[in-house]
Amino acid sequence: MLERLSTRSAVIGVVGLGYVGLPLAVEFAEQGFRVIGLDVTRAKVDQLNRGESYIPDIPTERLQPLVASGKLSATTDIQDLRIADTVSICVPTPLRKTKDPDMSYVIQSVDAVAQICHDGMLVVLESTTYPGTTEEIVVPKLASLGFTAGENVFIAFSPERIDPGNPHYGVRNTPKVVGGVTAACTEVAAALYGTAVETVVPVSTPTAAEMVKLLENTFRAVNIGLVNEMALMCDKLGVDVWEVIRAAASKPFGFMPFYPGPGLGGHCIPVDPHYLSWKLKTLNYNARFIELASEINTNMPLYVVEKVVEGLNDDSRSVRGARIVVLGIAYKRDVDDVRESPALDVISLLEKRGGHVSYHDPYIPSVRLEGETMMQSVPLTDELLESADCVVIVTDHSAFDWQHIADHSKLIVDTRNAIHSRTGRARVVPL
């Protein structure tokens, strides 16, 4: 296996061709491997096999030559991965409404890989999950078929660290943590990722590697919860929280700036800490920091709505019947992803109060709201801004012309400090 990886003669399989799996597959293909990607969505597979990208971080110009040369192909049939020497599983692990992990995608993927597993294969789980998943789900499944980790099969966990929309860090220059079931498993997995990633960070076990990802995102969730609560406190004290953060960030040691916002969104930070919290509850331990941060962050959309209410009240208007424009509904700047986006909660809460809400997002042409209602992005015209009773900045896409927005709006609730010190027609209500 080590020889095949070194000579790039190994065939690489990637299960799940989303924002994690496709960049990984592309990186391996660019390093000279033949890569076969598996996805259950036929339209996605067909698009990839035409050399067309559906992931903003992977331009079609980068993908096309890999497909044309035969280095990268996609399929919906697990049997096509029988020739693969390695399989990396990159499927979603969402939360149920009860905030316990939905492991169905991982279990289905492991069951599928078990069908085509063969002696010497490396199986790596990359999906973010609770500590113990690899040894509780992957290892027993393959063991039931006669495979022993470290002997006739290699099993490891390597957490994905993709940051969609990040122009500086991608697969290649983001260090890759790897934890194998045995030392041999770690060695083989590290050799695989070492062909495509500049720095590999081995750890002692899959559980340690699983815990690494949860620590990273719990760190962010808790600190964002802290700074969101700081925003609430500054509001009550009549202090500008953004000024406080800027000044605190001047300290060259012992402080790392985090910024408040309308709530948490995305596939990781609002979700991952709950995997850890859920696991610890099974061990009769309450992860208090996680629960408290979640409570604060989850309530931020309601706080934004209260800011809209206050702003309209000052203009002798009520939310009921008011024309409200939400700018940006992606979960963060310059991405086309609305998973867990706080903007969806802000829109729903405003509509429940009787507001007439529309939105503009250059990345999200339409979105499905609570109750299966479809909403379309409206053009960002001067007429739209001037006719709005309130404009709510939820996502600060770099495509927005903030000075123009400030010049043509009456009232802006700014949850991202996007307007800063700009002067214009608008009265600005900060978070």
Which residue numbers are catalytic? 268
End-to-end Cα spacing for the chain: 55
d(CA 286, CA 98): 16
Residue partners of 286: CB distance under 8 A and separation at least 6: 280
Report the 10 Å Cβ neighbour count for 97: 6
- The widest CA-to-CA distance across the chain, in whole angstroms, is 74
**Residue 194 token pair:** 């070492």
Which has the closest alpha carbon to 357: 346, 370, 368? 346
Residue 307 pairs in a beta bridge with none
d(CA 272, CA 288): 15
- The DSSP string of 111-130 is HHHHHH--TT-EEEE-S---
Q: Which helix (DSSP H) or strand (DSSP E) does residue 359 occupy?
A: strand 356-360
Contact at 8 Å (CB) between 401 and 376?
Answer: no
Helix (H) and strand (E) counts in the chain: 16, 15
Q: Which helix (DSSP H) or strand (DSSP E) does residue 367 occupy?
A: strand 366-368
Distances in Å between the Cα of 281 and the Cα atoms of 131, 276, 286, 287 are 12, 9, 6, 8
Q: Which helix (DSSP H) or strand (DSSP E) does residue 35 occupy?
A: strand 34-38
